[in-house]
Amino acid sequence: MKTILAALFIGLVPAVALADDKPDCSDPQTQMDMNFCAGEAYKAADKTLNTTYQAAMKAMKDIDSYLPADQKGAADALLAAQRAWIPFRDKACIAEGYMVEGGSMQPMIEAECQTRLTKERIADLKILIKGMGN
């Protein structure tokens, strides 16, 4: 503890590094805050994606349940699509991050891309949940 206090006193460790306060994501003021808030937005979107995916998978399994054995495959198709989509999203956002490669904005750009594409995927999955004609 004395080492941390001594380092703080001489300015080696910023006081912010020791604070547990999270930035105000309604109005982030620094790039570090913007990066953090973009990451939090992505985490929230990813959580919604996981819930929506589970509901879509249930809908596909319901479809499979009333199809003849030789026509089943809705759940398998969704699983394959999701497994392909996740690396697509991640690689597309890494590519987008190259616009500011090595800069302090890169994490924010990549997280904002992941959030945007995740929200688009959520909308796509909701179509599967609602089904035809809705």
pLDDT digits (tens, 9 = 90+) for 11-25: 554 555 555 689 999
Neighbours of 111 (CB within 10 A): 23
Report d(CA 56, CA 129) in Å as an integer.
5
- For 60-91, the pLDDT digits (tens) are 999 999 999 999 999 999 999 999 999 999 99
What is residue 131's predicted lDDT score, i.e. its pLDDT?
86
Q: Can you list the domains of the chain with their CATH numbers?
A: 29-130 (1.20.1270.180)
| Residues in contact with 115: Cβ distance below 8 Å, sequence separation at least 6, in sequence order | 38, 41, 42, 45
